């Protein structure tokens, strides 16, 4: 992972997320892209609802989600390419592709959320968002046993970042 996302993923692990940290991370990024205010109580509560069965989150995890959302919003504003880094190449294709799938699943969930209602959108009418979600769904179906072509993987992460930044810019106008 590069310097932009490595500390953010590490915060989730330090806070106790031992599995699916890329899903949690993707959810936070997706919710920012959907227009949730970074660091907001609403963002934390919906993470709790969606990924922790509405059970209270430990204080460290609440703080980590808040901190990650604040830092990630700054990185999204600047379209930092390192925001979507996967495990290093040495970790092997299955782990990298699994992280990609988990990340995109989290992004799909987050982008499907509605900051006005504080829950999931009942109907998505934005055609651009619908197309993005369809593409993300296709990406999430990646064959975890496939060879990992680094150039293709880089193109996929570039596409994901561009789509996410576009959604973020649409909802976070200066």
pLDDT digits (tens, 9 = 90+) for 18-47: 778 999 999 999 999 999 999 999 999 999
Confidence (pTM) = 0.91
Per-residue confidence band for 2, with pLDDT thresholds at 50, 70 and 90 = very low
**What does the pLDDT read at residue 80?**
79
**Distance between CA atoms of 12 and 15, rounded to whole angstroms?**
5
> Which CATH architecture fits 6-171?
Up-down Bundle (1.20)
pLDDT in tens, 126-155: 999 999 999 999 999 998 888 888 899 999
**What does the pLDDT read at residue 145?**
86
């Amino acid at each position: 992972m590069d310097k932009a996302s490595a500390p953010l993923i590490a915060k989730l692990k330090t806070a106790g997320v031992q599995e699916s940290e890329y899903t949690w991370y993707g959810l936070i990024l997706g919710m920012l892209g959907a227009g949730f205010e970074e660091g907001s109580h609403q963002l934390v509560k919906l993470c709790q609802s969606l990924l922790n069965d509405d059970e209270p989150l430990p204080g460290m995890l609440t703080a980590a989600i808040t901190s990650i959302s604040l830092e990630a919003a700054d990185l999204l504003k600047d379209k930092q390419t390192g925001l979507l880094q996967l495990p290093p190449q040495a970790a092997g294709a299955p782990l990298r592709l699994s992280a990609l799938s988990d990340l995109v699943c989290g992004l799909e969930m987050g982008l499907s959320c509605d900051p006005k209602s504080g829950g999931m959108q009942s109907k998505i009418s934005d055609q651009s968002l619908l197309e993005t979600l369809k593409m993300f769904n296709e990406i999430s179906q990646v064959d975890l046993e496939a060879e990992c072509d680094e150039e293709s993987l880089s193109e996929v992460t570039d596409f994901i970042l561009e789509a996410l930044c576009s959604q973020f810019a649409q909802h976070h106008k200066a």
